[in-house]
């Protein structure tokens, strides 16, 4: 089996690739509009100087998260377009759609039950919703295909990019909402959010999506034998990440101090395991270009 | 090359991923909100002089009032600015000067006195402050056109009544009055 290193195009089907790019771009624009209109990112917060400060802090935080995956991204030879689309999908489409869906689930629980605490709805429903939306971005980018060397490493890097962008925007939205609720304690809100979502949650979204992305990349670009087993394993990874995400949300909901440390520890273990897994699977697939 | 596999997405598989992604996104971002709307209790339009039986309490209400379909049923006596709020899930207290029982979040809270006011546009309204167990307050207020039920939460601690009053005033200024009195 041979591979080619130069190519005019990475895909046989230009229309399919264009459809993927158009889909991500369109849904990201819809998400951006939704975020602006639905989360007080517009005029309500424009006058708060802390908006800019917090946005800067979270952007820097996101850059640090992405830096963790620079080497894998280079090894996988991610396309520049794929990087941009991953950031757009995670920060705009996935974040906004998740906010809509999570809010709807909370509302449904309130509507159908007078006794259930609707905040628990998000603890249990949001992880499945958010991981699904981030995973769709990974799938689209792998099928673009968004890397010259497809496999676990490419999937991991794409997942991390999608999730890092998701996490930055989500954290900023939470920060702004906290500031709107407590305009007299903006600095305190910033510190508290940084601790809960930045420190305690450092090994959360990015780790979950990196693991799911690695599994998807391994499934799609790996050897063709035992496909069903590999599919089952990938589904298993997704479910485990949703469970971990739920546990993380529960910890934040209950504000259990010792559980914070456990959550961070488990996240770090998953991160290391994902890196080792992706490394063990390289080199794997290279995309065959057009002749 | 022994380890590497050649993988190339086909046009069909790319389009399949596009369709699946779009459908899932639509279901989550549009389908669930629609379901939330569909399961929401509907507002009820009541007519002049009608008496409503609500959890064993009969209440006569003015005409044209739209009763919000959420946890709070509200009626407002325009003459004396009395509130009658009944949650569908709690035992209602017989109507007195100002009877308030809000949604579950505020069952542990305390209730302040009701107050009446008139907007710049001459629309009568009434308000009442409910202090939650978390120490923060919710301002409940209604306007006499019945369509402008507004609830807002202040950020001031319950013991800082000056700040609460100031904040409530600022909220009232921002309320957009769109309806007209129907009776």
pLDDT at position B82 is: 31
Average pLDDT along chain B: 50
Find tokens 């601790």 and name the residue.
Answer: A195
Give CA A73 to chain center in angstroms: 15
What's the whole-number mean pLDDT along residues B79-104?
30
Residue B149 has pLDDT above 70, yes or no: no
**Contact between A105 and B32 using a beta-carbon 8 Å cutoff:** yes
- The CA distance from A92 to A79, in Å, is 20
The angle formed by the CA atoms of residues B56, B127 and A109, to the nearest 5 degrees, is: 60
Q: Is residue A4 part of a domain?
A: no
Residue B16 has pLDDT above 90, yes or no: yes
pLDDT at position B181 is: 31
Shortest alpha-carbon distance between residue B102 and chain A (Å): 13
pLDDT at position A175 is: 85
pLDDT at position A5 is: 41
**Residue range A16-25, pLDDT digits in tens:** 889 999 999 9
- How would DSSP label each residue in B61-72? --TTPEEPSSS-
Domain segments of chain B as ranges: 9-40, 45-174
Residues in B 62-121 with any Cβ partner in A closer than 8 A: 71, 88-89, 104
Q: Dump strand ranges (E) for A54-134.
A: none
Residue B157 has pLDDT above 60, yes or no: no
pLDDT at position B50 is: 56
Residue B95, both tokens: 């109507």
Please check whether residue B20 is in contact with residue A27, taking contact to mean a CB–CB distance below 8 angstroms: no
Q: Looking at A15-29, A67-81, A107-121, B100-114, which range is the least confident one?
A: B100-114
**Contact between B40 and A111 using a beta-carbon 8 Å cutoff:** yes
- Reported for A55-58, long-range contacts at CB under 8 A and 24+ positions apart, including other chains, are A55/A172, A57/A190, A57/A194, A58/A168, A58/A171, A58/A172, A58/A175, A58/A198
Q: Write out chain B residues lying below 8 Å of A96, CB-based.
A: 29
B9 touching A (Cβ < 8 Å): yes
Question: What percentage of chain A reaches a pLDDT higher than 90?
Answer: 51
- The CA distance from B148 to B170, in Å, is 17
What's the whole-number mean pLDDT along residues B119-141?
47
Helix (H) or strand (E) holding A28: helix A14-38
Q: Dump strand ranges (E) for A53-141.
A: none
Residue A94 has pLDDT above 90, yes or no: yes
Residue A148 has pLDDT above 80, yes or no: yes
Q: Is residue A195 part of a domain?
A: yes
**Residue range A156-171, pLDDT digits in tens:** 999 999 999 999 999 9
**Greater pLDDT, A119 or B24:** B24
Q: What is each CA distance from A129 to A86, A210, A246, B69, in whole angstroms? A: 18, 16, 11, 28
Q: Is residue A9 part of a domain?
A: no
B174 touching A (Cβ < 8 Å): no
Q: Write out chain A residues lying below 8 Å of B35, CB-based.
A: 104, 108
Number of domains in chain A: 1
> Residue A145, preceding bond cis, omega within 30 degrees?
yes
pLDDT at position A12 is: 56
3-state DSSP assignment of residue A141: helix
Please check whether residue B88 is in contact with residue A114, taking contact to mean a CB–CB distance below 8 angstroms: yes
Please check whether residue B127 is in contact with residue B115, taking contact to mean a CB–CB distance below 8 angstroms: yes
pLDDT at position A281 is: 83
Q: Is residue A291 part of a domain?
A: no
Shortest alpha-carbon distance between residue A265 and chain B (Å): 31
- The CA distance from A45 to A51, in Å, is 7
**Contact between A12 and B6 using a beta-carbon 8 Å cutoff:** no
Q: Closest-CA residue in chain B for A10? A: B8
Complex ipTM: 0.87
Q: Is residue A2 part of a domain?
A: no
Beta bridge partners of B118: B124
Average pLDDT along chain A: 84
Residue A32 has pLDDT above 60, yes or no: yes
pLDDT at position A118 is: 66
B4 touching A (Cβ < 8 Å): yes
Residue B76 has pLDDT above 60, yes or no: no
pLDDT at position B54 is: 37
Q: Is residue A7 part of a domain?
A: no
**Contact between B5 and A1 using a beta-carbon 8 Å cutoff:** yes
Among A241, A202, A244, A209, residue whose Cα is nearest residue A62:
A202
- The CA distance from A210 to A271, in Å, is 8
**Residue range A179-221, pLDDT digits in tens:** 776 767 777 888 888 888 888 888 999 999 999 999 999 998 8
Q: Is residue A3 part of a domain?
A: no
pLDDT at position A204 is: 92
Neighbours of B89 (CB within 10 A): 14
pLDDT at position A167 is: 95
What's the whole-number mean pLDDT along residues A48-76?
88
Tell me which range, A128-137, A175-184, B59-68, B170-179, is most confidently predicted by mean pLDDT. Answer: A128-137
Q: Write out chain A residues lying below 8 Å of B14, CB-based.
A: 11, 13, 16-17, 19-20, 143-144
- How would DSSP label each residue in B82-130? EEEEE-TTSPPPPP-SSB----GGGTTSEEEEEEEEE-TTS-EEEEEEE
B40 touching A (Cβ < 8 Å): yes
Contacts of residue B77, Cβ cutoff 8 Å, sequence gap at least 6: B62, B84
Which among A16, A100, A132 is the nearest to B9, CB-wise? A16
Residue B133 has pLDDT above 70, yes or no: no
Q: Looking at A71-80, A205-214, B145-154, which range is the least confident one?
A: B145-154
Domain membership of residue A56 as a residue range = 14-285
Confidence band (pLDDT; 50, 70, 90) for B175? very low
Among A153, A132, A251, residue whose Cα is nearest residue A203:
A251
Q: Is residue A46 part of a domain?
A: yes
DSSP character for B6?
Answer: B
pLDDT at position B9 is: 85
pLDDT at position B112 is: 43
Residue A222 has pLDDT above 90, yes or no: no
pLDDT at position A244 is: 94
Confidence band (pLDDT; 50, 70, 90) for A258? confident
Confidence band (pLDDT; 50, 70, 90) for A106? confident
């Amino acid at each position: 089996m041979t591979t080619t290193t130069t190519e005019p195009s990475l895909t046989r089907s230009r229309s399919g690739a264009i459809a993927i790019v158009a889909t991500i771009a369109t849904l990201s624009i819809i998400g951006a509009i939704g975020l602006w209109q639905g989360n007080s990112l517009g005029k309500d917060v424009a006058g708060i100087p802390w908006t800019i400060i917090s946005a800067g802090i979270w952007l820097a935080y996101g850059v640090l998260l992405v830096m963790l995956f620079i080497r894998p991204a280079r090894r996988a030879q991610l396309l520049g377009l794929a990087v941009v689309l991953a950031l757009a999908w995670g920060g705009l489409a996935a974040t906004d759609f998740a906010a809509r869906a999570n809010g709807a689930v909370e509302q449904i629980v309130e509507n159908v039950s007078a006794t259930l605490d609707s905040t628990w709805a998000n603890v249990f429903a949001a992880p499945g919703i958010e991981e699904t939306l981030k995973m769709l971005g990974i799938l689209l980018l792998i099928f673009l295909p968004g890397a010259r060397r497809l496999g676990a490493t490419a999937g991991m890097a794409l997942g991390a990019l999608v999730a890092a962008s998701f996490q930055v925007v989500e954290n900023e939205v939470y920060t702004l909402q906290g500031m709107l609720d407590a305009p007299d304690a903006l600095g305190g809100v910033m510190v508290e959010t940084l601790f809960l979502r930045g420190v305690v949650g450092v090994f959360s979204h990015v780790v979950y999506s990196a693991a799911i992305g690695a599994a998807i990349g391994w499934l799609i670009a790996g050897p063709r034998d035992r496909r069903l087993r590999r599919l089952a394993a990938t589904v298993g990874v997704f479910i485990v990440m949703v469970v971990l995400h739920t546990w993380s949300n529960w910890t934040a909901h209950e504000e259990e101090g010792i559980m914070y440390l456990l959550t961070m520890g488990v996240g770090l273990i998953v991160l290391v395991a994902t890196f080792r897994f992706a490394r063990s699977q390289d080199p794997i697939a290279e995309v065959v270009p057009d002749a | 090359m022994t380890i590497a596999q050649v993988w190339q997405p086909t046009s069909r598989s790319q389009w399949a991923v596009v369709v699946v992604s779009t459908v899932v996104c639509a279901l989550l971002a549009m389908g669930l909100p629609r379901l939330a709307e569909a399961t929401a209790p509907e507002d009820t339009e009541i007519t002049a002089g009608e008496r409503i039986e609500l959890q064993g309490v009969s209440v006569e209400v003015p005409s044209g009032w739209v009763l919000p379909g959420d946890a709070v049923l509200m009626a407002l006596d325009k003459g004396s600015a009395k509130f009658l709020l009944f949650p569908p899930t709690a035992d209602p207290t017989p109507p007195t000067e100002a009877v308030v029982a809000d949604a579950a979040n505020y069952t542990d809270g305390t209730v302040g006195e009701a107050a009446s006011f008139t907007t710049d546009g001459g629309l009568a309204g009434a308000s009442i402050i409910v202090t939650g167990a978390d120490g923060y307050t919710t301002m409940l207020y209604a306007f006499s056109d019945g369509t402008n039920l507004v609830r807002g939460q202040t950020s001031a601690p319950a013991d800082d009544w000056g700040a609460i009053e100031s904040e409530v005033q600022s909220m009232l200024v921002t309320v957009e009055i769109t309806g007209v009195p129907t009776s």
